[in-house]
Amino acid sequence: MSRTVSRSAREIAEFLSARIDGSPDVSISGVAGPDGARASDLIYADSLRYAERAARSAAVCVLCTAEMSLTGKTRILVENPKLAFAKVAAWLLAPAAVSSGVHPTAIIAGTARIGPEASVGPYAIVEEGATIGARAQIGAHCVIGAGARVGEACVLYPRVTLYVGVTLGDRVVVHSGTVIGSDGFGYVYGEGRQWKFPQLGSVEVADDVEIGANSTVDRGSLGVTRIAAGVKIDNLVQIAHNVTIGEHTVIAAQTGISGSSNVGHHAVIAGQVGIADGCTIEDEAVCGAQAGIPSGKTIRKGQVVWGTPARPLDKFKEQYACYGRLPDLFTRVRELEEKMKAMQGGK
């Protein structure tokens, strides 16, 4: 749960550098969707088709564009209501603390360093040489491996595990059950068996990254697995050894990225995408849900692909429409075959 801070409509408009139409003294103490909002909640409407819902809402204050007319409401006029809503929500809603202070059951090695105002929750373990930055919050039962670094104002929810030497930048959020720095899936077959290839590298996560629950990020085999600033990773995502993810890329749930693949900046990887080893997803590319990217393939900058194997969206739509007609085509072919037989005297 989050703690709310009450603000006036005027303060919110000033925060957004936006114009206000209506009473500037309306008090806002929360955010909500139009249907379940209270009078003191802020809502948004980012399309004229939602104007009626916003008008019916109990909320008094609405984030909307200038062309949307809402009689009886205080309007805060912005170009992108959804983005403005997200910014205001982060400003109004202070997240509840994951931990507070250093719990007496926490186990902290003598050479570990805990920054000012950092918190370590019940039964958490901070191993030798690890560093916890100022104002970071380490939840219950977390394990911070030897030599790992957690930057300032990071939040690790309960049962996060950082292996030896993992580095997190500042303001990184890692949700429960996630493991960062585990061995990559690297084996060499020979002499009738699988031999484990060395997994001696590390993981570097830059500032402002968020990683969802029960995800895994493997350490590099001989190098580094890198996640750049602002990347957002959903629950149940697997990132293999030596992968690099560029700035502000988003990766949805159940995606798997195989070893030594490179994903550019501002890319969008939808749910259940499978990226084989050695692939390149260039900047601003979009991989649609359940797309399969074969080994070594390159998805070009800004390209939108779908399907398995992944292909340009227009081609996928054309082929998918053909697949849908296959039963009818099969029936027609059978009928033509029967007619041909009849014309040939049943031979």
Rounded to 5°, angle at Cα 133 from 263 and 141: 85
Q: Is 124 in the same domain as 174?
A: yes
Does a structural domain hold residue 101? Answer: no
Q: Is 179 in the same domain as 317?
A: no
Q: Is 204 in the same domain as 237?
A: yes
Q: Is 248 a catalytic residue?
A: no
CA dist list (Å): 215 to 12, 44, 238, 273, 286: 36, 32, 6, 14, 21
Mean pLDDT by 10 residues, the chain (347 residues): 79 96 94 95 94 95 95 96 95 86 96 97 98 97 98 97 98 98 96 96 98 98 97 98 98 97 98 97 97 96 94 85 86 89 75
Q: Is 24 in the same domain as 146?
A: no
Does a structural domain hold residue 327? Answer: yes
Does a structural domain hold residue 317? Answer: yes
Which distant-in-sequence residues (6+ apart) come within 8 Å of 267 by Cβ?
246, 249, 250, 281, 282, 283, 284, 285, 286, 287
Q: Is 252 in the same domain as 294?
A: yes
d(C-alpha 248, C-alpha 216), whole Å: 19
Task: Give residue 346's pLDDT.
Answer: 58
d(C-alpha 273, C-alpha 279), whole Å: 13
Q: Is 232 in the same domain as 139?
A: yes
Which of the listed residues 95, 120, 153 is the one where a domain comes to its end?
A: 95
d(C-alpha 29, C-alpha 60), whole Å: 12
| Active-site position among 103, 141, 175, 241 | 241
Closest Cα to residue 149, out of 131, 133, 164?
A: 131
Q: Is 30 in the same domain as 78?
A: yes
Task: Give residue 96's pLDDT.
Answer: 82
Q: Is 193 in the same domain as 264?
A: yes
Q: pTM for the complete prediction?
A: 0.88
What is the CATH number for 66?
3.40.1390.10
Q: Is 218 in the same domain as 327?
A: no
Does a structural domain hold residue 148? Answer: yes
Task: Give residue 76's pLDDT.
Answer: 97
Q: Is 126 in the same domain as 273?
A: yes
The DSSP-derived string for 148-189 is -EE-TT-EE-TT-EE-TT-EE-TT-EE-TT-EEEEPP--EEE
Q: Quick one: tokens of 336? A: 């033509």
Does a structural domain hold residue 253? Answer: yes
pLDDT digits (tens, 9 = 90+) for 136-161: 999 999 999 999 999 999 999 999 99
Which of the listed residues 42, 75, 95 is the one where a domain comes to its end?
A: 95
Neighbours of 35 (CB within 10 A): 11
Q: How many independent structural domains does the chain possess? A: 3
Domain range enclosing 89? 2-95
d(C-alpha 290, C-alpha 40), whole Å: 41
Q: Is 306 in the same domain as 239?
A: yes
Does a structural domain hold residue 144? Answer: yes
Task: Give residue 347's pLDDT.
Answer: 58
